[in-house]
C-alpha cells in the first residue's frame, strides 16, 4: 500500500511540475508578444522618421503608412550601401566572432527568464 501512495504522490508532483512549466511557457509567450509589439512600434516610428526626412516638405501631406513605406525604401537603400561598402565577408567574420563567445545555454535561459518576467508583467496588467 505504501508504494501506491508513493506512486500517487509522485504523479501529483509530476502533474504540478508540468502545470508550472506550462504556465512559464504561457508567460514567456505573453512576454514575447509584448516585446514584439514594442519593437514593432519602434521600427515603425523609425521608418516614418526616415520617410519624413526623405520626403522633406511634402511629408506633411503624406499619411504615416506612406511615410513608413518611403522610409523602408530609404533604410533598405542605406543597408545595401553598407553591405557594399563593408563587404559581406567582413560582416560574416564579425558575426562569427560575436557569437563565438556566447554560451547558448546560459543566454537562452536568460532570454527565457526575461520573457517569463515580461509575460508576468503583461498578465498582471
6-63 pLDDT, tens digit per residue, is: 777 777 788 888 999 999 999 999 999 999 999 999 999 999 999 899 888 887 788 8
48-103 pLDDT, tens digit per residue, is: 999 899 888 887 788 888 889 988 899 888 888 887 776 777 777 777 777 777 77
- CA distances 61 to 17, 29, 50, 54, 55, Å, are 57, 39, 15, 13, 10
List the grid coordinates of 75: 533604410
**Full-model pTM:** 0.56
Positive or negative, the Cα torsion across 81, 86, 87, 89? negative
Structure confidence at residue 63 (pLDDT): 86
- CA distances 62 to 6, 13, 40, 77, 85, Å, are 70, 60, 21, 21, 32
Amino acid at each position: 500500500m505504501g508504494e501506491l501512495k508513493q506512486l500517487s504522490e509522485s504523479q501529483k508532483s509530476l502533474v504540478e511540475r508540468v502545470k508550472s512549466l506550462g504556465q512559464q511557457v504561457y508567460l514567456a509567450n505573453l512576454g514575447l508578444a509584448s516585446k514584439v509589439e514594442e519593437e514593432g512600434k519602434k521600427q515603425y516610428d523609425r521608418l516614418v522618421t526616415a520617410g519624413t526626412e526623405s520626403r522633406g516638405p511634402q511629408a506633411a501631406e503624406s499619411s504615416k503608412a506612406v511615410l513608413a513605406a518611403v522610409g523602408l525604401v530609404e533604410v533598405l537603400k542605406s543597408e545595401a550601401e553598407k553591405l557594399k561598402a563593408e563587404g559581406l565577408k567582413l560582416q560574416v567574420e564579425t558575426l562569427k566572432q560575436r557569437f563565438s563567445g556566447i554560451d547558448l545555454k546560459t543566454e537562452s535561459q536568460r532570454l527565457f527568464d526575461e520573457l517569463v518576467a515580461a509575460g508576468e508583467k503583461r498578465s498582471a496588467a
